[in-house]
Structure 1
Amino acid sequence: MALPQILHSPQSSSSSSLIPHKPYLNPSSYTKTAVNFFTPPHLRRQRRRKPNSLSCSASSFSEKHHTNPPKSNDVVELPLFPLPLVLFPGAILPLQIFEFRYRMMMHTLLHTDLRFGVIYTDSATGTADVGCVGEVIKHERLVDDRFFLICKGQERFRVTKLVRTKPYLVAEVTWLEDRPPSGEVEDLDTLANEVESYMKDVIRLSNRLNGKPEKEVQDLRRNLFPTPFSFFVGSTFEGAPREQQALLELEDTAMRLKREKETLRNTLNYLSAASAVKDVFPSS
């Protein structure tokens, strides 16, 4: 089976200090081939090819992303990593760190709580206000003082004040949580099941286009409640970080799932058209 992926190529990194530990997404055991997602024209970016592009793996999602969830009105200071990617709660992010200022940050984190803020930035839109905490769950320090990290997305945050910019960014942040659902919980669960169904159809059709056996797609939701499942779905939209950022910033699970459902529906329409063309013109 295959993981759905945004139609255009992933954007390249603007930071020389961070390299992904793996060059591709590898969620769990059910993806070996990427599936292209349809991206609306206003979200597309020009294809650029540079080495060391970052990618965020969504290989390990759990129902609880932290043991002691902070209160939404808590204000804390958090070191920040501005990156050309979006980290979601529950997602896995492999990184290699070699720039001096971030090595300094890692030395500090190793003596504290191993948590920092990942926040999306690009040259066109600047740095976002909403990001996600990355907690270091595995690390390896090399002889030249570089670090290999495996991080996991935890709670979301909003930057309220920049405390300092050197040697690395530190900001005051408040925690961001989805609002309680306004409708029935069953309605939210139904919406999550519909999104999962679209994902399965996209994977199935993509496998067909790539000449792979159309096997039955296994359980993608894995007993996740709607909110963490919506984060998982958003994390698979690799290649469209601005759309991912918009999903991350939403404070309503239903709105996030509805937006993801629409993207999946557009993708399915695109793949259906591509499949029809391939049937008529097999050589193409």
Structure 2
Amino acid sequence: MALPQLLPSPSSSSFTPKPYLNPNSLNPTPRSLSSTPSLLRHHRRRKPNFLRCSASSFSEKHHTGSPKSDDVIELPLFPLPLVLFPGAILPLQIFEFRYRMMMHTLLQTDLRFGVIYSDTATGTTDVGCVGEVVKHERLVDDRFFLICKGQERFRVTRLVRTKPYLVAEVAWLEDRPSGDGEEDLDALANEVETYMKDVIRLSNRLNGKPEKEVQDLRRNLFPTPFSFFVGSTFEGAPREQQALLELEDTSIRLKREKETLRNTLNYLTAASAVKDVFPSS
């Protein structure tokens, strides 16, 4: 059976594609990316090669020592058909000349660039996430294999230049305190984790996998980085992921993710009931 359809909450109804939630991505297992543009492709030394994103990729504390939100800096940009979240791990292969030029510059500076979501239907967004090069390998033909980690979020304020690659002035984004100061974010995060575990359990059942107990998904993450981890698991739904990335309120982000997971769980429950009645379907 196909992966369960991710059913967005009413607040995300403006997103027309009907994406899918890959329960496997909630655990430290690979995920594929088939639509990477020519400027960047994933490492293909192993088959298959995947983007990995797991709870272990996320630091326990979010934005420790991060720049102030009113700081403005210049940042080289990579438009990609994916959304990078703070704490997520992204492997890339760089072979196009202009981006090899950029890598030579980055290796002599602070190893940071901006990943921004772009597609042919909606164009390029102005909110993205910094990718920091944590490991790199330069090949004899001057291609680069990179392992990057998501860091701070940013908003593009001004495009500085477009050639040989995009460079923009950016301002940092941080989650603001929730309007409801008494809301228990930790309890809300725990609810989201429970829905995630139920989604994994039912998905495994529908796909004929063992229904073993799902381990701790939060792994001591605070609510904000946990909300980014949850968003990173919504594979096949980049526009919904982009909407989650742009939110500046942890509570609102967790509630939106909770609603999406609850709708997905309802779908899975119905599918499971049908399978019980018609096992051969």
Same fold (TM over 0.5): yes
Indicate the residue corresponding to 1:214 in structure 2: 211
Task: For 1:219, give the aligned amino acid.
Answer: D
Indicate the residue corresponding to 2:199 in structure 1: 202
Task: For 2:50, give the aligned amino acid.
Answer: Y
CA distance in 1 between counterparts of 2:56 and 2:237 reads: 18
Note if 1:16 corresponds to 2:38: yes
Comparing 263-272 with 154-163, greater Cα deviation is found at: 263-272
Q: Matched residue of 1:174: which SS? A: strand
Note if 1:147 corresponds to 2:168: no
Q: Counterparts of 1:1-284 in structure 2 under 5 Å?
A: 6-7=19-20, 12-13=34-35, 15-21=37-43, 23-28=49-54, 60-64=57-61, 68-184=65-181, 187-284=184-281
Query: How much does 1:24 deviate?
Result: 3.3
CA contact (8 A) 1:12 1:84 kept: no
Q: Deviation per CA, 1:81-132, whole angstroms, max 9, x where unpaired?
A: 0000000000000000000000000000000000000000001111001000
Query: How much does 1:8 deviate?
Result: 7.5
Aligned length: 253
Q: Deviation per CA, 1:167-221, whole angstroms, max 9, x where unpaired?
A: 0000000000000133346611111010000000000111111112211111000
CA contact (8 A) 1:65 1:153 kept: no
Task: For 1:20, give the aligned amino acid.
Answer: H
CA distance in 1 between counterparts of 2:65 and 2:98 reads: 29
CA contact (8 A) 2:189 2:223 kept: yes
CA distance in 2 between counterparts of 1:193 and 1:275 reads: 25
Structure 1 gap ranges (5+): 29-57
Structure 2 gap ranges (5+): 7-18, 23-31
Identity in percent: 85
CA distance in 1 between counterparts of 2:82 and 2:120 reads: 13
TM-score, normalised by the number of residues in structure 1: 0.84
CA distance in 2 between counterparts of 1:24 and 1:218 reads: 22
Indicate the residue corresponding to 1:31 in structure 2: none
Q: Matched residue of 1:86: which SS? A: coil
Comparing 17-26 with 233-242, greater Cα deviation is found at: 17-26
TM-score, normalised by the number of residues in structure 2: 0.85
CA RMSD of the aligned region, Å?
2.1
CA contact (8 A) 1:26 1:59 kept: no
